[in-house]
Chain A
Amino acid sequence: MFSSDNLQRAREIISRYPSSRSALLPLLHLAQDQDGWVNDEAMTEIAGLLELTRSDVYGTCSFYTMFKLEPVGKYVVSVCTNVTCLVTGGPAILHHLEKAYADDADVFVEEVECLAACGGAPALQVNYEYHERLTPQSAEQIVDAYRSGQRTARRLSGGPR
């Protein structure tokens, strides 16, 4: 359920568009920022706000890789392995982090496609914050910095800290 602040924001977002359905992706982001994933209640509430069926919401939501339909912890670590990162060490970072955080429920390591950070390859994002020119070790240090509170993460869908 949206908090009352977020519900107000949701209504403001809907009002920006000539057609309310356009607010679907923004509201899913808002829900994911709030709850850390897109849960059943969120889809139901958004369906109600936009006068859609839940099937419509689910069908659209599941198309987009950023939306997590299961809880993923506090930090989404998105490691690029597309070609520039492939030839500069991205896969090694991915495997290193996957192993390092295999048992850590707070850290969700995922392989992603090109992040548009090829000038600084290999790159990753933590909650959609860029980090570039990495090695497996420096990548782990960055994730640990978030874990220990030295760095403040964005919200789960990349919303404001």
Chain B
Amino acid sequence: MTLQETRLLTKRMNDRPADSFTMEGALATGAYDMLRKALQMKSADVQEEVKTSGLRGRGGGGFPTGTKWSFLPAGLYPRYLVVNADEGEPSTFKDRELMERDPHQLIEGIAISAYAIESNLAFIYLRGEMAHANEILTQALADARAKGFLGQNILGSGYDLDIVLHRGAGAYICGEETALLESLEGRRGMPRIRPPFPAVAGLYAKPTVVNNVETMATVPHIVSMGGAEYAKIGVNRSTGTRMFSLSGHVNRPGNYEVELGATFRELIDDLGGGVTNGGTVKFFIPGGASSQWLVNEHLDVPLDMDEVGKLGVMLGSGAVMVFDQDTDPLAVAWRLVKFFAHESCGKCTPCREGTGWEEKILYRILHGQGRPSDLDLLLDIGDNISPGLNAPFSQTTICPLGPSSVSPIVSLNKYFRDDVIARCTPRLVTMLTGNGLAGNGLDGGLHR
């Protein structure tokens, strides 16, 4: 049996591809009915349904959403709901599609969630580069206000909510929830020390919940089905459907919504149409750039957060990157580490200095200037950022960005150690500058 998509979140956009993003298209397909339903419930009951559903955060951490909400200290107001729409994990593009093609599903989910946690002001922190999503959401929010789905006394319930759409400006780190809050407060997006946790002292030092776009977009469906019914979808503690962003060497890259529990092979072959040009999978990255890698032999592992966790990798943001037999894993590793070095906020030492150092060494090896000892040096540098080199990460840093940069290195070592060492020559390394190695198509040299 070939894997089929299970369309909850992607139903509207598939049913009405032409106008799913408009109020008309949305209302014609039941938008805001679940908001109406939720507003007739007690907010605590809505919260309970979400808890029962087993919904886990879709941003990467996989923390149970209902539990997160329950950390808000009782009786403390105002409290804020902040939606993390700063989708920046390499090869992840599901939230963007959810926002561009079905903004009302997101707004409805936010409204229900804000009601559930008794917040009257929510923020969408949208990745700055997503200008189109910004336009769509701006219009959708205006339409929702005009229709009384937002604003004062929503649908006659006495409940007030406004949603402020806030654009970021180009900083991957703002996807980390405390950095996001710093950025939303108008500061450099540098992660905060925890405790205090955002639930206790988040935005403006007030109790705050930060949830991912897909998580929010799922909430109307939980209200619709009931938490218990929703929990029947999926497998084990990985309930429901998830959006997977499939990319790389596959014939049909794109977002696929599947019931958790299917395998990587099914996702790649049945939905993605297999590897391009009839090739084979050399390695794949199962959960975004921060995850460690898997190789061909892992293709039958199920899409289950806990099962993949046992392999020391994660489903993370739901991005599955596929690389064929001709891919140079060293080049991929270098490029990913370069990404982390570029996106390091610079607040704490191991990440600020370590990621740049890792990148320089990988660059050297990639360009034939490696020493046989370099891979072990990389591992030791990695160990000083993420002691033990395990997943889930332990870290000498404040946030997981630095440890994420170690994943490609650990993966290189695990699966391609001999290849990498073979490419290192035991000769003296000369002091290198970028200029000496230009022109091979790999060293764009990011501006700034």
Contact = CB atoms under 8 A, between A and B. Distances in A.
Direct chain A–B contact by Cβ atoms under 8 Å: yes
Max chain B C-beta neighbours (<10 A), residue from A25, A92, A117, A128: A25
B183 A83 contact: no
Interface in B176-231: 183-189, 204
Interface string B223-245: 00000000000000000000001
A84 B90 contact: yes
Given A21-B185, A67-B169, A114 B253 contact: no
Contact of A158 (B95, B129, B189, B447): B129
Interface string A7-18: 000000000111
Given A16-B164, A22-B166, A130-B132, A65 B171 contact: yes
Interface string B114-136: 00000001000001111110110
B87 interface: yes
A113 B444 contact: no
List the 10 closest A-B pairs by CB distance, nearest first: A158-B131, A24-B186, A64-B169, A21-B186, A65-B170, A66-B170, A118-B247, A128-B131, A111-B444, A114-B90
Contacts of B170: 64-67
B367 interface: no
Interface residues of B, number: 64
B205 to A, nearest CB: 10
Given A84-B247, A111-B446, A116 B87 contact: yes
Contacts of A143: none
Determine the interface band of chain A, counting residues with CB < 8 A from chain B: 35 or more
A144 interface: no
A50 interface: yes
13 contacts: A22-B184, A50-B186, A60-B187, A65-B169, A82-B91, A83-B90, A83-B332, A114-B91, A114-B92, A114-B339, A116-B129, A118-B91, A130-B132
A19 B88 CA distance: 26
A20 to B, nearest CB: 8
Given A115-B129, A116-B87, A129-B132, A87 B188 contact: no
B166 A26 contact: yes
A87 B327 contact: yes
A67 to B, nearest CB: 6
Contact of A87 (B78, B323, B343): B323
Given A22-B166, A83-B332, A78 B129 contact: yes
Max chain B C-beta neighbours (<10 A), residue from A16, A26, A116, A117: A116
B96 interface: yes
A22 B441 contact: no
Interface string A35-49: 000000000000000
B185 A19 contact: yes
Contacts of B187: 21, 24, 60
Contacts of A92: 441
Contact of A86 (B164, B171, B335): B335
B372 interface: no
B249 interface: yes
B92 to A, nearest CB: 6
Given A50-B186, A86-B335, A111-B447, A118 B319 contact: yes
A29 B90 contact: no
A149 interface: no
Contact of A81 (B93, B335, B343): B335
Given A66-B129, A83-B289, A87-B332, 20 more contacts: A19-B186, A22-B186, A25-B128, A25-B167, A25-B168, A25-B183, A29-B167, A50-B186, A65-B169, A83-B91, A84-B90, A87-B323, A87-B327, A110-B446, A113-B88, A113-B90, A114-B289, A116-B93, A117-B93, A158-B134
Max chain B C-beta neighbours (<10 A), residue from A16, A26, A86, A128: A86
Contacts of B78: 18
Interface string A82-102: 111011100110110000000
Interface in A98-125: 110-121, 125
Contacts of B95: 116
Contacts of A154: 131
A15 to B, nearest CB: 11
A86 to B, nearest CB: 5
